[in-house]
Structure 1
Amino acid sequence: MNKNIRKINIIGTSGSGKSTFGRQLAAKLDIPYVEMDALYWKPNWQEPSDEEFFANLEKALQQDSWILDGNYNRTAPIKFAYVQSVIWIDYSFVRTLYQAVKRAIVRSISQQEIWANTGNKESFRKTFFSKDSIILWTLKTFKNNRVRYQALLNDPNYSHIHFVRLKSPTQAKAFLESLD
């Protein structure tokens, strides 16, 4: 990847490792890391209006450089107007599901606040016994996300964007090491 690329969106199914990779990439390139979930979620798991969310996103993308972690497909017109590169974390279904379950368990046990000043925490009930389960979300969206992201790579409307598809943790590690 060209080191002059300074506006990057990390995409992938929930649990794929977007945040971990995004933080590592931001540290490696010494540029700000922006987590879309942190822009989205309000205290007590309240959701903003699209107008509020889009305004928060627009403001975050006014910086000279950033690593943007997140999908939110309805934000494509906003983020793709700025982005120079999209990195798709496309690990196998089994790997992604394993990571989603592991993360949910760790978060449920630790009870750490997920996004600053929200009070939002994972719980076993929400994770395993709720229609809002992140694990259920991963199961429901994995296949459709693959189809959607593959189409994105081939969409002539986005030919100005440099796409990178990482299919394994080994490829992700090699990609990061190539930036030295």
Structure 2
Amino acid sequence: MKIAIIGYSGSGKSTLAEKLSSHYSIPKLHMDRLQFQPGWVDSDRDWMLKEMATFLTENEDWVIDGNYSWCCYEERMEQADQIIFLNFSAWNCLARALKRYLQYRGKVRESMADGCPEQFNWEFIRWILWDGRTKNAKVRYQKLSDTYPEKMHILHSQAEIDYFLQSLKK
């Protein structure tokens, strides 16, 4: 089973990846762990591409959460048996990100790179509400839906995630 989880910041991609990795007993990769180095420094793109290619090659099954359209995106989507798009509203994502910040303030989440404690600042708020919701991103998501309708799951709320997870147990 290969599962790609994509969606907007704060929508719950990493949490869902944890649950699916546990449910199927398959390896997971949080792309944020590759993207950042300690202190929220961006990783070298060539290094990140190599790490992603290695993960894809070495694992027969996987769950990967993250967008990063420049990083083996087509390969991930093509190889995935399921693509889960968390298409939550901007305000819902903002509320979820704030809740996450309050829970992990000063700590590093398991799904984040070492040395990158949880943060909630104006730059991140702007990313959640506007900068991360570009027309190009929306076009890319629509193209995925058109290209892979049989394996695309678009979830709009926590209730839909819960329903999706419950359906796996049947």
TM-score by length of 2: 0.84
Matched, 1:153 2:142: no
Q: What does residue 112 of structure 1 align with?
A: 107
Matched, 1:83 2:80: yes
- Bigger shift: residues 24-33 or 142-151: 142-151
CA contact (8 A) 1:58 1:78 kept: no
SS, match of residue 11 in structure 1: strand
SS, match of residue 87 in structure 1: strand
Q: Deviations over 1:1-22 (max 9, x none)?
A: xxxxx11110010001111111
CA, structure 1 residues 12+149, in 2 after alignment: closer, same or farther (shift >3 Å)? same
Matched, 1:50 2:41: no
Look up the equivalent residue of 1:70 and give its one-letter code: G
CA, structure 1 residues 143+44, in 2 after alignment: closer, same or farther (shift >3 Å)? closer
Matched, 1:21 2:10: no
Query: How many residues are aligned here?
Result: 164
Look up the equivalent residue of 1:99 and give its one-letter code: R
CA contact (8 A) 2:36 2:43 kept: yes
RMSD: 2.2
Look up the equivalent residue of 2:25 and give its one-letter code: D
CA, structure 1 residues 161+36, in 2 after alignment: closer, same or farther (shift >3 Å)? farther
TM-score by length of 1: 0.80
Matched, 1:103 2:100: yes
- Bigger shift: residues 162-171 or 145-154: 145-154
Q: What does residue 61 of structure 1 align with?
A: 56
Structure number, greater radius of gyration: 1
Sequence identity (%): 29
Matched, 1:178 2:170: no
Unmatched 5+ residue regions in structure 1? 1-5
Aligned partners of 1:152, 1:114: CA distance in 2, in Å? 29
